[in-house]
Structure 1
């Protein structure tokens, strides 16, 4: 991309803002060198990176990027044998720690999906051992600690002892010979402890003179008594320096061994910082991610120029590349025409750099190979070029490179020369750019270009709105409406006499007046259409919301219905399972008794088949249970075996209770049902009398009494319930329940049960020969 274009469209100001959002010099280095890409795949990848970072900021509000430094120069020095300072080693440890914190932060996030970020942090190597080595030798202030080695600890202990001895001796001088000293203090010169001695007492103190004051009245003397101790102290300090250098040398060597991993981490951390700088810039602009294409299509809503203060900027919609490829904008000066040009150009450069743009969500921008702009007064005094010549020189260079992958921005095309010739030249230049299928937006003052869009395919007129009432531009872009001069209206508002204005109108051609009237009508129609569109859009949004609410309520209803069906089916399946288990027990017991009952095997198979057929189908499995309404309904009579569809159970016709109503025996129940709810199965055939109840009554399987003594309360009730059912099937008129006297709990339970059971007509205590109050006798229906 041409550097001059970046300056003209003020792209560098955006980059300056971007660098302010970086957290480290690593990210800042990438931000400063950012340039627009011309490859769609690369642009889409950059936009996806920025969007992922923006999602993290929306969810978490921050990302831990502190403590990360550009350690590449330090790594490079270790590779050529250099020894790093303690602070440089500490920066490396801090960067390793920062990378580990970032990796943990991203890995702990559950939402949203972040393939790019996760791939970046997954490649960060922990290097915990190298960090531990550095931190065990260097403290948080960048000083090598005593514990870095045993030798260093010994040397520093020796230094502290020597310093203490020197100070003690010199302190004795400050107390005993304070009159000879300029000040009763101990100071340092040439890294040796000395005393400030007055000039006249030089011989009284004795020792080595290291320095004197500016006036010469004070000499800084090292007394002979501390010379040897000072020498020992200096020697210890030399040893300390050597040991510190040895420790730093070892650390530098360890760092050099991990240079590949460190370079990898630094590159990844810098890239993450750069990603989040772009996201932070977008957040500060309230920007959104545009959809990118390479077909020259642009459609953005409520676009705001990022360099205009938010309280002053006027949002505008810009569309080009679909129904039309060129826009000609007319209108008054300072109306916002040039801002519109720069807005589209800057948006394009930002989007191709992976930056989000300040506009509504869902915007679309194109990737162009080149963006050309002829904007502003570029007159060159040195080249003695006029304004027209300067613009035309620039336009000539643009026309040499224009193709269908370029965006061209012309500001005041054809200005600076004769109006008629300038207008003709402007139309010719536009024709050539349009012919090459480039995307072009041009601004002009020439009235001849107002009708240009009506005579050219792919070209549309536009204007910037001007408020006649306030005599100020609104900065709103109106696509499809050419601008008008408003000179007469403005003059009238400013107080020009009406007769002068009317005379002026007579000098204007009829065609020009008609065009102005047409434009005025178009502006009014556009404003009305926009108002109607806003109202319609509001209604549409309300309808969509209502539709979504209804869909959600319907979904909840369906879910609730499915839950109720499932619950009912589970309950039915449980009851069926229990009934089948009990029936299986009965069949097996009767089978075991078949010799005494003289029943044949095929009869037991038939009984088993009837049990299987008696199992009701569940709602989810039912299909075509209802007989066809086209089939003639059979006359039913007492004894016919039928299926009661409302209960999904088999039974027997007892009697006809009405013209279309029957009484059906279903188990122990008698139910009235309509003919349409009854399905005929078969007519009762005369057979030898072998009813199951009679067999059970004659057998000794069901005794006429039940002993519940010693049973737990719940178990006793279960046995009682099953026994009463068996006794009813056996046809017993009375049965005895033995519950004993005890606390009376079982007796009460049995009698309460008898009260509620509809097949027990009455109950009483046993007689003298039946067990008295320890027995309850039940009268069965």
Structure 2
């Protein structure tokens, strides 16, 4: 693993990620990458504190299994993990995240142990009375030592012998510094001498108090050992739970570290796909400072990168492999979210010169060894830098052409950098080959670090040599030796690249103009719809005003106002001239399947009968309307959600089952349900008690476990967990 990271210049990047982990471990996450991706996305919606730094507990778990007694600091490492999951349970998670956290059921007796210790892993006050009493005695004894030393230092008899009035710490002992002759005044033990010939001494009265303190500390350690034995015994009973939560902590640690890492520098997660689509969009290699973002499509089986020396060909190759590798392990990196990377089982980088005195192998022979391994690979992506390295270029071109074509048939994607024009020209006609050229700025005589797809690039060897200090007369002679015909070939390649660039610029300009036209056309349609709505509203208002006027006329008739009927008839005539129907754009050639709009509802034509049509709107309702009332709608219909089957989570999170006292058929039914629940809950190991008795129940359990497809293996439990009367089952 480290080797491939080193070849792709990712060591520092991986190291900076690893520092975010709560404890040292591999960056690889086992399990379904799609589930990991979903849980990470759900976690990103919450602002959680980082997991505590925790030691590796594999040896501690093994120690518990062997009925050993843990040290106080080892117990506290487990407490930190349990406390953190207890903290997570306070959040209102949803979806898969809620299912996962709910599955972690902390036994009450284990949770109670968390209350034994403070944040510095010391036993809290009130947990053990004897421990508290000795703690107070130790504190009083320390105060007595301090007072005794203070009294001696301030003694008038000893003052003439004191070098200073300070308390010194020599060899972890509290002492005072005195001159010779002190023994006439003070009884003390000399523990060291200063460079000036003075004596560091511990008064006998202080020594007595220190001995008492040592005895108290020993008693305190005895009580602490007793507490550790009790906790270790409790941990032994819950060994399967501790193994489970230790593993789940690493899983959560992976998620949180990746989220924190993604936020540092605005990186994105790119989930590998199985569609065969491979495209980097605005990717930046993390090893480059202020890197230039690259966009490249490498969906074809072979990507051949040619062009200028020192123009970024090797870094392009490393970028493709690096993005693939980081996606494989779900590590975020600098790229646009539209980046797509395929799924590959193997990622291989052939970048170095394999020649070595130790292995007695040539450059070309080493390359052949690397290529021979690829013929036994499947679903792999391999990057080869300077493929023609180490042998005759014409022979190599023919050989590598055939090798590459064979590897294409084996579903292997190959990324190649080369200056070999013959190999590039041989492969150019193959539809599975993508040509990419590193570009050169002729005017400024330097690489641009841009890339052009669909063409072969010129190496610019002479220009590069001149840029790095080779004399012009030497380069001129080299061009003569190189030959006029080959130089013309370079000119053709250069001209081809220039035409390709010009063509792409025109395409980009045309695409921009088309998008602008579509945008303006859309705006015009939206404006027309708005005007239609406005006209419809205004005519509706007029119609209402007419109604009001008609009502007034009716009132006038009832009041027997003269000529009332005549005015009412005139009002009716005016009403006929007011149309409340909405202005429509005449649509022609509507057919079944067209997207249409009816008033504020949008849908699709299901059938047409004469001047009427049946449409089904996006809400799923069907209606019959006039064809003349319909307008075209180019909007994409809403995608109906796919139905899904949800397996109900078991109500229990326990990893133990007791079958004592049950009949064989009843016990097997309960055991079957228990294993199903355990599999859904994600447990790797469970414990089943069946007892010894007559042996019938034990035999029935064994027969069932032998036939169960999800049982990997089972063994008799440890004597402390039931021995021959219980089975530890691995799923």
Q: TM-score, normalising length from structure 2?
A: 0.63
Q: Is 1:341 matched up with 2:317?
A: yes
Distance 2:482 2:123 in 1: 93
Equivalence for 1:44: 34
Residue by residue over 1:61-116, the C-alpha shift from the partner in whole angstroms, topping out at 9 and shown as x without a partner, is x53124352473555545545444544444444433332333434x26xxxxx634
Distance of aligned partners of 1:560 and 1:292 in 2 relative to their CA distance in 1, 3 Å threshold: farther
Equivalence for 1:268: 248
1:478 equivalent among 452, 463, 487: 452
Equivalence for 1:672: 571
Q: Is 1:29 matched up with 2:36?
A: no
2:443 equivalent among 456, 465, 469: 469
Q: Is 1:372 matched up with 2:352?
A: no
> How is 1:316-355 mapped onto 2 (pairs within 5 angstroms)?
316-321=295-300, 325-355=301-331
Equivalence for 2:284: 304
2:381 equivalent among 402, 407, 431: 407
**1:481 Cα deviation after fit:** 0.9
Distance of aligned partners of 1:8 and 1:480 in 2 relative to their CA distance in 1, 3 Å threshold: same
Query: Is contact 2:271-2:330 (8 Å) kept?
Result: no
Unaligned runs of 5+ in 1: 109-113, 573-642, 656-661, 679-781
Comparing 93-102 with 542-551, greater Cα deviation is found at: 542-551
1:98 equivalent among 84, 97, 101: 84
Equivalence for 1:743: none
Distance 1:190 1:441 in 2: 65
**1:495 Cα deviation after fit:** 9.9
**1:533 Cα deviation after fit:** 4.0
Equivalence for 1:417: 391
Equivalence for 2:619: none
Equivalence for 2:370: 394
1:151 equivalent among 130, 134, 138: 130
> How is 1:734-773 mapped onto 2 (pairs within 5 angstroms)?
none
**1:52 Cα deviation after fit:** 4.2
Distance of aligned partners of 1:100 and 1:431 in 2 relative to their CA distance in 1, 3 Å threshold: same
Equivalence for 1:19: 18
**1:159 Cα deviation after fit:** 4.7
Residue by residue over 1:395-436, the C-alpha shift from the partner in whole angstroms, topping out at 9 and shown as x without a partner, is 2333x3255x23232322233222322322232323333344
Distance 1:132 1:96 in 2: 10
Query: Is contact 2:134-2:220 (8 Å) kept?
Result: yes
Residue by residue over 1:693-732, the C-alpha shift from the partner in whole angstroms, topping out at 9 and shown as x without a partner, is xxxxxxxxxxxxxxxxxxxxxxxxxxxxxxxxxxxxxxxx
- Report the 3-state secondary structure (helix = DSSP H, G, I; strand = E; otherwise coil) of the residue aligned with 1:439: strand
Distance 2:260 2:239 in 1: 31
**1:274 Cα deviation after fit:** 0.7
Distance 2:83 2:357 in 1: 58
Distance 1:188 1:148 in 2: 33
**1:242 Cα deviation after fit:** 3.0
Equivalence for 2:48: 63
Distance of aligned partners of 1:354 and 1:670 in 2 relative to their CA distance in 1, 3 Å threshold: same
Aligned-residue RMSD, C-alpha: 5.1
- Report the 3-state secondary structure (helix = DSSP H, G, I; strand = E; otherwise coil) of the residue aligned with 1:477: strand
Query: Is contact 1:466-1:473 (8 Å) kept?
Result: yes
**1:538 Cα deviation after fit:** 4.5
Query: Is contact 1:288-1:358 (8 Å) kept?
Result: yes
Query: Is contact 2:314-2:385 (8 Å) kept?
Result: yes
Distance of aligned partners of 1:7 and 1:256 in 2 relative to their CA distance in 1, 3 Å threshold: same
Equivalence for 1:523: 497
- Report the 3-state secondary structure (helix = DSSP H, G, I; strand = E; otherwise coil) of the residue aligned with 1:67: coil
Distance 1:555 1:104 in 2: 51
1:222 equivalent among 187, 193, 204: 204
Larger Rg, first or second structure (1 or 2): 1
Equivalence for 1:119: 99
Residue by residue over 1:185-214, the C-alpha shift from the partner in whole angstroms, topping out at 9 and shown as x without a partner, is 8889999998888775657766xx655544
**1:19 Cα deviation after fit:** 0.4
Distance of aligned partners of 1:169 and 1:439 in 2 relative to their CA distance in 1, 3 Å threshold: closer
Query: Is contact 1:70-1:266 (8 Å) kept?
Result: no
- Report the 3-state secondary structure (helix = DSSP H, G, I; strand = E; otherwise coil) of the residue aligned with 2:338: coil
Residue by residue over 1:152-198, the C-alpha shift from the partner in whole angstroms, topping out at 9 and shown as x without a partner, is 34444445556666776776666264269656788899999988887
Residue by residue over 1:644-673, the C-alpha shift from the partner in whole angstroms, topping out at 9 and shown as x without a partner, is 899799979989xxxxxx96599xx99721
Distance of aligned partners of 1:185 and 1:251 in 2 relative to their CA distance in 1, 3 Å threshold: farther
**1:391 Cα deviation after fit:** 1.8
**1:482 Cα deviation after fit:** 0.8
2:406 equivalent among 432, 443, 458: 432
Residue by residue over 1:15-38, the C-alpha shift from the partner in whole angstroms, topping out at 9 and shown as x without a partner, is 32320232x11xx4142xx28x8x
